[in-house]
């Protein structure tokens, strides 16, 4: 093959690889942007669910339970930018403090036992979205599932 033809072949292949790489990078960038937008949407849904479903329902429980046996911390953690809650905590009687937290669109529910003489309380157990009360995402934060969570918390007390 003629050296000029080989040089042209090399340049053509180099341009094709560069175009292919640019296309893949553009697709990856678009995918990352879509994933980030989905996370932001899920996080917003989580904050909205905490504000519009969880806190009002827990306020009803707070008003209903006798002798202030249900304690609510409606702003256990606030988002630094929006000042909306990203975590809500509750305690039934002298039981452990339960926390419902929305992190990057995922809901984590755990409880922290009371402080005792052995030192500060640590994370004790994380509820899985695969088991009762089946809360994994913001759309799972319903009155029915929260009621099941409260039922579980009462039984564990």
Place 95 in a pLDDT band, splitting at 50, 70 and 90: confident
Task: Look up the domain containing 51 and give its range.
Answer: 38-156
Place 115 in a pLDDT band, splitting at 50, 70 and 90: low
Nearest to 129 by CA among 152, 106, 156, 146: 106
With respect to residue 79, please indicate whether it lies within any of the assigned structural domains. yes
Instruction: Name the domain count of the chain.
Output: 1
With respect to residue 14, please indicate whether it lies within any of the assigned structural domains. no
- The alpha-helical segments, DSSP class H, found in 74-156 are 143-156
With respect to residue 54, please indicate whether it lies within any of the assigned structural domains. yes
With respect to residue 128, please indicate whether it lies within any of the assigned structural domains. yes
Is pTM beyond 0.75? Reply is: no
Nearest to 59 by CA among 73, 45, 44: 73
Distances (CA, A) of 36 to 104, 107, 147: 9, 17, 32
Mean pLDDT within 38-56 = 89
Mean pLDDT within 3-14 = 92
Cβ neighbourhood burial of 49 (10 Å; 0-12, 13-18, 19+): buried
Q: What Rg do the C-alpha atoms of the chain give, in angstroms?
A: 25
With respect to residue 100, please indicate whether it lies within any of the assigned structural domains. yes
With respect to residue 83, please indicate whether it lies within any of the assigned structural domains. yes
With respect to residue 24, please indicate whether it lies within any of the assigned structural domains. no
Place 9 in a pLDDT band, splitting at 50, 70 and 90: very high
Going 147 to 149 to 152 to 157, the CA torsion angle's sign is: negative
Percent pLDDT > 70 in the chain is 90
């Amino acid at each position: 093959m003629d050296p000029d033809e080989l040089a042209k072949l090399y340049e053509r292949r180099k341009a094709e690889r560069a175009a292919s790489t640019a296309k893949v990078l553009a697709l990856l960038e678009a995918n990352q942007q879509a994933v980030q937008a989905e996370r932001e949407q899920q996080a917003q849904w989580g904050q909205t669910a905490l504000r519009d479903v969880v806190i009002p329902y827990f306020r009803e429980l707070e008003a209903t339970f006798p002798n202030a046996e249900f304690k609510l911390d409606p702003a256990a953690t606030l988002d630094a930018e929006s000042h909306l809650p990203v975590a809500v905590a509750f305690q039934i009687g002298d039981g452990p403090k339960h926390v419902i937290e929305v992190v990057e669109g995922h809901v984590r529910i755990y409880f922290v036992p009371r402080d005792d003489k052995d030192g500060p309380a640590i994370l004790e157990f994380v509820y899985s979205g695969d088991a009762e009360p089946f809360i994994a995402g913001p759309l799972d934060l319903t009155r029915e599932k929260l009621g099941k969570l409260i039922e579980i918390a009462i039984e564990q007390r």
